[in-house]
C-alpha cells in the first residue's frame, strides 16, 4: 500500500524545493498520492522565482510524466471543504515546504485561515508525521520559540540547509535535501542519480 502525502506550499522563498519534491515523490512507487496546496502568497513567489505559470510551473520545473501526474492533486488554499481539512481523510505525512514565518506563527497559535493552516493543524491533532521546512534567516527568538513549540508537539523541523558533501551544484544540494525529507517520511529514494532534472 502506497503512502498518501500532503505538500503544503507557503509564500516563502525557495520554490525550487516544492517543485523538486513533486518531481521526485510523484515518481516513487511508494507514494500513492500527493495532495498539494499552494497558498496565494506562494503563487506570487512562483511567478518571481519560476517565471510564472502557477501550479504548472511547479510541474514543469522538475520532471513529471503522465503517470506521475495522475498521483498529484492540487487544491486552492481557500478550499476549506477539501478532504485535507478533515482527520477522516487519512494521510501518512504532511510536509510544509517551504514554511514561511507567517505560516509558522499561525499554525503555532492554532489559526486556520486557509487550507495550508488547516491541513497542518489536522496533522498535529491526528499525530501524523508533520515536517516543517522553515525558510527564514536569521531566526529571531520568536521563530525559535515557535519552532520549539511545534517540535514539542511532535513536528520534525528540517530547514533547507545544504549538505555540501553531496556535490558542487545547486541541483545536488536540493535533491539531497528532498531525499532527506522523504527519508523522514519513511521512503527511501536510494540515490541522487535517479532523479536528475529532466532526465526522466
- What pLDDT digit, counting tens, does each position of 80-121 carry? 999 999 999 999 999 999 999 999 999 999 988 899 999 999
What lies within 8 Å, CB to CB, of 23 at 6+ separation is 61, 62, 63, 64, 195, 197
Indicate the number of domains in the chain. Answer: 1
Per-residue confidence (pLDDT) for residue 169, from 0 to 100: 86
Answer yes or no: is 28 within a domain. Answer: yes
57 grid coordinates: 510551473
Per-residue confidence (pLDDT) for residue 64, from 0 to 100: 73
Answer yes or no: is 156 within a domain. Answer: yes
Per-residue confidence (pLDDT) for residue 85, from 0 to 100: 96
Per-residue confidence (pLDDT) for residue 194, from 0 to 100: 57
C-alpha torsion sign, points 167, 170, 171, 177: positive
Answer yes or no: is 22 within a domain. Answer: yes
When pLDDT is averaged across residues 116-137 and rounded to a whole number, the result is: 97
Answer yes or no: is 137 within a domain. Answer: yes
Per-residue confidence (pLDDT) for residue 172, from 0 to 100: 87
Give the chain's mean pLDDT: 91
Domain that holds residue 97: 3-195
Per-residue confidence (pLDDT) for residue 200, from 0 to 100: 38
What lies within 8 Å, CB to CB, of 43 at 6+ separation is 54
| pLDDT tens by residue, 31-65 | 999 999 999 999 999 999 998 888 999 988 766 77
pTM for this one?
0.93
When pLDDT is averaged across residues 152-181 and rounded to a whole number, the result is: 91
Answer yes or no: is 190 within a domain. Answer: yes
First to last CA, the chain: 24
According to DSSP, the residues that pair with 95 across neighbouring strands are 7, 131
Residue/partner pairs of 166-175 with CB below 8 Å, 24 or more apart? 166/192, 167/192, 170/16, 171/196, 171/197, 174/16, 174/17, 174/20, 175/20, 175/24
Tell which residue, 85, 91, 180, has the closest CA to residue 128: 91
Give kind and range of the element (H or E) at residue 116: helix 115-126
Domain CATH for 72: 3.40.50.1950
Quick check: 197 pLDDT over 60?
no
Answer yes or no: is 66 within a domain. Answer: yes
When pLDDT is averaged across residues 170-180 and rounded to a whole number, the result is: 90
What lies within 8 Å, CB to CB, of 180 at 6+ separation is 158, 163
Answer yes or no: is 124 within a domain. Answer: yes
Answer yes or no: is 200 within a domain. Answer: no
Amino acid at each position: 500500500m502506497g503512502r498518501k502525502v500532503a505538500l503544503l506550499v507557503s509564500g516563502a522563498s525557495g520554490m525550487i524545493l516544492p517543485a523538486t519534491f513533486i518531481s521526485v515523490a510523484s515518481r516513487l512507487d511508494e507514494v500513492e498520492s500527493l495532495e498539494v496546496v499552494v497558498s496565494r502568497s506562494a503563487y506570487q513567489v512562483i511567478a518571481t522565482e519560476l517565471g510564472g505559470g502557477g501550479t504548472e510551473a511547479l510541474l514543469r520545473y522538475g520532471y513529471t510524466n503522465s503517470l506521475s501526474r495522475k498521483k498529484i492533486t492540487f487544491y486552492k488554499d481557500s478550499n476549506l471543504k477539501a478532504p485535507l481539512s478533515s482527520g477522516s481523510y487519512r494521510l501518512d505525512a504532511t510536509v510544509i515546504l517551504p514554511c514561511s514565518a507567517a505560516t509558522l506563527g499561525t499554525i503555532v497559535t492554532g489559526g486556520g485561515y486557509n487550507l495550508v493552516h488547516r491541513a497542518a493543524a489536522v496533522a498535529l491533532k491526528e499525530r501524523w508525521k508533520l515536517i516543517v521546512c522553515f525558510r527564514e534567516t536569521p531566526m529571531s527568538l520568536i521563530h525559535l520559540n515557535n519552532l520549539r513549540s511545534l517540535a514539542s508537539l511532535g513536528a520534525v523541523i528540517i530547514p533547507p540547509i545544504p549538505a555540501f558533501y553531496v556535490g558542487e551544484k545547486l541541483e545536488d544540494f536540493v535533491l539531497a535535501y528532498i531525499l532527506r525529507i522523504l527519508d523522514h517520511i519513511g521512503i527511501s529514494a536510494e540515490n541522487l542519480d535517479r532523479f536528475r532534472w529532466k532526465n526522466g
